[in-house]
Amino acid sequence: MNRTKILVTGGAGFIGGNYVHYLLNNDPDALVYNLDSLTYAGELNKHERCASNPNYKFIEADIRDKEQITNIFEEYKFDYVVHFAAESHVDRSIHSPDVFLETNVLGTHNLLNASLKTNIKKFLHVSTDEVYGELDFTPNTYFNEDTPLDPSSPYSSSKASSDLIVLAYSKTYGLPVNITRCSNNYGPFHFPEKLIPLAITNVLRNRKVPVYGTGENIRDWLHVEDHCSAIDLVLRRGENGQVYNIGGHNEKTNLEVVSDILSYFGKSLDCIEYVKDRKGHDKRYAINPSKISELGWKPNYQFKDGLKQTIEWYVNNRSWWERLLTEDK
């Protein structure tokens, strides 16, 4: 029997790692290949229980290395590519934009070339709502798939660039592709530099929780497990060449999110430290998920329940995130 071979790039990261788990739990007939270069935000301890699974294989490689990527694709003959691998932290992109362009743009280009040469069945590119820029605070206004791209940071600009390259390979070369653009993710195994895990881990270490500006910036929060189910649905049922937005309809200000975390621990707002606002900090993101809903998807997590589950995960897995904080110094 020919087994379906699914390559997950960036599978040692947060969302990609959760998607590896999702595949192994939900598609026992798939062979799952996790390709990652193991940068600071990528680690394999999250996959300890997968290591002995005969359906799982880890490949250490850098998507910026064209020759290496070409050889890997020719060796394994993947059926599908789900592309998460990216530099993704906005603050780091502001200070060091070069690696974002090299990884997110040129790395994606290398994967597309290799996919075209080996006739893969579909290339699914995981992007972000940040490529749309920002919304103002007007209620009931949302990003949809036709919203013009207007990125603000080197990170979101590099993702928008890679989105356009993916679509060009579909239109010019006929490569089967989909693009998904998600709102802010949260959940287990999130590297503790992002807002929710940073707030949780700082509280657990009796440190102040930094909040940019006045904390009024709004994000639409999506539990990573809901995101994984949506990605998998698009991989299997998405219309070729189409973009699908994935959002949770859980809009919260950054201050509300931090306040909810402090409240869980019985802490006061005195634990917040307001810091200088980020350069080019977008006011608000919010997604209209109607298009993917037509495929039959809807989120399972309400934000309140998902946040509680996430907090409890970090409380119970200190050894995982404490090691990462030490290694990233």
Query: Among all residues, which ones are annotated catalytic?
Result: 129-130, 155
Return the SS3 of 141.
coil
How crowded is residue 138: how many other Cβ atoms within 10 Å of its Cβ? 7
Nearest to 220 by CA among 246, 200, 255: 246
Contact between residue 226 and residue 122 where contact means Cβ atoms under 8 Å apart: no
Long-range contacts of residues 66-73, Cβ cutoff 8 Å, at least 24 apart: 66/110, 66/113, 69/110, 69/111, 69/114, 70/110, 70/113, 70/114, 70/117, 72/35, 72/114, 73/114, 73/115, 73/117, 73/118
Rg (CA), the chain: 19
Centroid of chain to Cα 208: 26
